[in-house]
């Protein structure tokens, strides 16, 4: 294996020749003579020397792990020593050195050619160089994925696609060059420009359907991605809620009460998710009553159906109404069981709640005085806050009717 190309410390100027000699396996003298001869040939040796001086690290720099300019690897991959440093590609900061190096090479080659008597047309070379440089710069701005996609889209991964692309690029470059080089006078440039515009217009027309299709594909893809995201979100939600509940229901299939409770709780949760926008959850009276009903249903396993009409913000009075409703529903769940209906009618002047069960009923007068539930938590609480509670009970069920007027000026309800 060849020794890596490094500038030697045994140096007349910068150790380039010594490094070259060691690398190429020739004598130091031969390398130096070769360099001098090249220098006499229109200065090519000087350029080469300068280039190598710039780009080739010294042995010292190598040891310290100074990054080798990328040009070394790109220009002469065999010179690199990949086992000692991670391979890097064009996109690494070395890219600029590559550009500089290539530019210098081109300039040097042109100089050599001129020295050798070839009539170098600078007028041509300059635009070519500029266009090439621009292309390389643009190319190096793209990251790997975009480059691959661009290649793919342009069909450059297939032979005929590559040929087409190359031909197109050459044509464009030739056109630009002819315009820029000034080999045509301005008299001819205007018709040429017009012709070019016409051609471009024609091409645009031809490509328009393709472009449109591309755009539509893009739109469709975007829409599909949005749908996919939504679907994933729904799937995640169903998994977290419904599937888990179904699993629980299978486990507890023996207990009817548990199954009903789980099913109801899941239904409520799913309904809330499906039909109520997060933005609509207001925390107002209707929401609070529904939450209370859900809580009692959860605790006692009896379905509590809430129908609400209207809504109103929570005030201390409405809060008392919610608490009283809760007690009434708990009472119904405890003593009557079965389905419980809650109806809320919230208006600007008065809010009413009806809690109805279909139990065997009870007589309020026979309820012991010390039983806190209905008397204290419902009737007295409502009265303390300026509302009323009426209880009607018969053998076909009990209905608690709570009425809470809106705050009136001057009423001291606490």
**Binding interface with other proteins (CB under 8 A):** 267, 271, 274-275, 303, 305, 307-310, 339, 341, 343, 345, 347, 354, 356, 396, 399
Q: Which is nearer to other proteins, 68 or 341 (CB)?
A: 341
Q: Which is nearer to other proteins, 83 or 277 (CB)?
A: 277
397-405 and 388-394 beta bridge pairing: antiparallel
Q: Which is nearer to other proteins, 35 or 287 (CB)?
A: 287
Q: Which is nearer to other proteins, 231 or 371 (CB)?
A: 231
Nearest distance, CB of residue 245 and other proteins, angstroms: 16
Nearest distance, CB of residue 259 and other proteins, angstroms: 14
Q: Which is nearer to other proteins, 165 or 259 (CB)?
A: 259
User: Which residues contact residue 335 at a Cβ distance below 8 angstroms, ignoring those fewer than 6 apart?
Assistant: 359, 362
Q: What residues form DSSP beta bridges with 344?
A: 308, 353
Q: Which is nearer to other proteins, 135 or 339 (CB)?
A: 339
**Backbone dihedral angles phi then psi of residue 70, each to the nearest 5 degrees:** -65, -25
In which region does residue 5 sit, left (phi positive, over 0), alpha (psi from -120 to 50) or beta (all else)? beta
Half-sphere exposure of 161 (CA within 13 A, CB side): 9
Nearest distance, CB of residue 359 and other proteins, angstroms: 13
Reference 293, options 346, 241, 357, 361; nearest CA is 357
Q: Which is nearer to other proteins, 327 or 357 (CB)?
A: 357
Q: What 8-state DSSP symbol labels residue 278?
A: G
**Backbone dihedral angles phi then psi of residue 222, each to the nearest 5 degrees:** -65, -45
Reference 46, options 35, 57, 58, 34; nearest CA is 35
Q: Which helix (H) or strand (E) holds 324?
A: helix 316-335
Q: Which two tokens stand for residue 300?
A: 């006692």
Reference 97, options 123, 129, 72; nearest CA is 72
d(CA 250, CA 8): 80
**Read out DSSP for 121-143?**
-HHHHHHHHHHHHHHHHHHHHS-
Reference 306, options 274, 264, 344; nearest CA is 344
Q: Which is nearer to other proteins, 305 or 376 (CB)?
A: 305
Q: Which is nearer to other proteins, 327 or 399 (CB)?
A: 399
d(CA 116, CA 109): 11
């Amino acid at each position: 294996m060849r020794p890596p190309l490094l500038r030697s410390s045994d140096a007349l100027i910068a150790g380039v020749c010594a490094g070259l000699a060691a690398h190429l396996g020739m004598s130091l003298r031969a390398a130096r003579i070769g360099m001098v001869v090249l220098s006499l040939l229109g200065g090519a040796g000087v350029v080469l020397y300068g280039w190598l001086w710039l780009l080739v690290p010294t042995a010292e720099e190598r040891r310290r792990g100074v990054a080798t300019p990328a040009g070394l690897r790109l220009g002469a991959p065999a010179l690199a020593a990949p086992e000692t440093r991670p391979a890097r590609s064009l996109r690494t900061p070395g890219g600029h050195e590559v550009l500089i190096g290539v530019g210098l090479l081109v300039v040097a080659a042109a100089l050599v050619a001129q020295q050798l008597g070839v009539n170098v047309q600078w007028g041509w070379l300059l635009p070519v160089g500029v266009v090439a440089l621009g292309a390389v710069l643009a190319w190096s701005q793209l990251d790997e994925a975009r480059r691959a996609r661009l290649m793919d889209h342009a069909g450059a991964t297939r032979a005929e696609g590559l040929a087409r692309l190359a031909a197109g690029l050459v044509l464009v470059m030739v056109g630009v060059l002819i315009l820029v080089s000034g080999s045509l006078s301005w008299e001819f440039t205007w018709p040429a420009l017009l012709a070019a515009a016409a051609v471009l217009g024609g091409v645009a027309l031809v490509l328009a359907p393709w472009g449109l299709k591309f755009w539509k594909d893009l739109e469709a893809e975007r829409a599909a991605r949005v749908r996919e995201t939504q679907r994933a979100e729904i799937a995640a939600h169903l998994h977290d809620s419904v599937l888990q509940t179904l699993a629980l229901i299978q486990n507890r299939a023996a207990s009817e009460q548990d199954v009903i409770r789980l099913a109801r709780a899941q239904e409520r949760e799913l309904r809330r998710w499906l039909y109520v926008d997060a933005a609509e959850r207001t925390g107002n009276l209707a929401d609070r009553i529904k939450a209370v009903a859900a809580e009692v249903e959860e605790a006692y396993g009896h379905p509590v159906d809430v129908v609400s009409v209207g809504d109103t913000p929570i005030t201390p009075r409405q809060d008392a109404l919610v608490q009283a409703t809760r007690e009434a529903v708990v009472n119904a769940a405890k003593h009557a069981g079965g389905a419980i209906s809650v109806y809320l009618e919230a208006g600007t002047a008065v809010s009413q709640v009806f809690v109805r069960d279909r139990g065997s009923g009870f007589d309020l007068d026979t309820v012991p005085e010390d039983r806190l539930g209905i008397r204290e938590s419902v009737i007295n609480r409502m009265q303390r806050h300026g509302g009323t509670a009426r209880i009607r009970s018969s053998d076909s069920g009990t209905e608690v009717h709570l009425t809470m007027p809106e705050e009136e000026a001057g009423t001291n309800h606490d």
